[in-house]
C-alpha cells in the first residue's frame, strides 16, 4: 500500500511501535491509540498503510517467528533437534510474543480469517519438521514423516502453552523426549 519513501518509513515506525508494545505490554497493550501514539502517527496514516490493527500484529509475530529459524535460507541443513530447540527457544525465550502467537491461534478457533493465517504458517512448519525427519530417517515415507511431524508439532504447541502458564514447567526437558530415540542417544544439540 505504501508507495512513497515516507510511507515506507512510516510503516516501519508503526511496526516498530507495535513490536515494542507487544513485547512490553502483551496483546492488551496494543490498542490503535497506543500504536499510533508510540509511532507518533495519526490513525488516518495507520489505515493508509494497514488494512486493520490485526494486520500489523500479524506482521510482527511473523517476523519474530522467522527470527529464530535455524535455517532461514531453506537450505535443508536443519536437524529435527535444531527445529525443536528453535521452537522451545521461541516459546520460553524472553520475548512475550510467543504468548501472542498462541492467543492468535486461540482466536483462530472462531475467527475464520485468523484461522487461515494461522493454518498457513502451521503447514509451513509441519513441512519443515517433516523434511528434517525424512532427512534423518530416509526410510520414512513422506506420509509417515508428515504424521510424525504433525504430532510432534502438536505436542510442542501444547507443551508451550503449559510452559507459558506455569513458569516452573521445564519445557525443554519435555520437548527433548519427543525426539526419536536415535537423536536422543547421539546427543545431538
Residues in contact with a second copy by CB under 8 A are: 26-28, 99, 102-103, 105-110, 115, 118-119, 122, 147, 150-151, 153-159, 161-162, 164-166, 173-174, 177-178
- Residue 56 CB, nearest distance to a second copy (Å)? 19
Q: 144: exposed, middle or buried (C-beta count within 10 Å: 0-12, 13-18, 19+)?
A: middle
Residue 172 near which of a second copy, DNA, none (CB within 5-8 Å, type-dependent):
none
Cα separation of 117 and 90, whole Å? 19
- Least Cα distance to 8 among 52, 37, 45 occurs for 45
Cα separation of 124 and 103, whole Å? 19
Q: Is 113 in the site for DNA (CB under 7 A)?
A: no
Residue 107 near which of DNA, a second copy, none (CB within 5-8 Å, type-dependent):
a second copy
Q: Is 10 in the site for DNA (CB under 7 A)?
A: yes
Which of 33, 177 has the CB closer to DNA? 33
Cα separation of 147 and 99, whole Å? 26
> Rg of the Cα trace of the chain?
19
Site for DNA, rule CB under 7 A: 1-10, 28, 30-33, 40-49, 52-54
Amino acid at each position: 500500500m505504501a508507495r512513497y519513501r515516507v510511507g515506507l518509513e512510516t510503516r516501519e515506525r508503526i511496526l516498530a511501535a507495535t513490536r515494542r508494545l507487544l513485547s512490553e505490554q502483551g496483546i492488551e497493550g496494543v490498542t490503535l491509540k497506543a500504536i499510533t501514539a508510540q509511532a507518533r502517527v495519526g490513525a488516518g496514516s495507520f489505515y493508509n498503510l494497514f488494512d486493520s490493527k490485526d494486520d500489523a500484529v500479524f506482521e510482527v509475530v511473523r517476523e519474530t517467528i522467522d527470527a529464530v529459524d535455524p535455517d532461514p535460507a531453506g537450505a535443508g541443513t536443519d536437524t529435527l533437534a535444531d527445529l525443536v530447540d528453535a521452537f522451545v527457544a521461541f516459546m520460553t525465550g524472553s520475548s512475550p510474543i510467543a504468548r501472542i502467537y498462541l492467543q492468535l491461534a486461540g482466536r483462530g478457533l472462531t475467527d475464520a480469517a485468523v484461522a487461515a493465517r494461522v493454518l498457513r504458517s502451521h503447514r509451513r512448519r509441519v513441512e519443515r519438521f517433516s523434511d528434517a525427519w525424512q532427512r534423518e530417517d530416509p526410510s520414512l515415507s513422506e506420509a509417515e514423516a508428515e504424521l510424525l511431524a504433525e504430532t510432534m508439532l502438536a505436542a510442542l504447541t501444547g507443551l508451550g502453552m503449559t510452559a507459558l502458564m506455569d513458569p516452573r514447567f521445564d519445557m525443554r526437558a519435555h520437548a527433548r523426549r519427543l525426539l526419536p530415540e536415535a537423536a536422543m542417544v547421539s546427543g545431538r544439540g
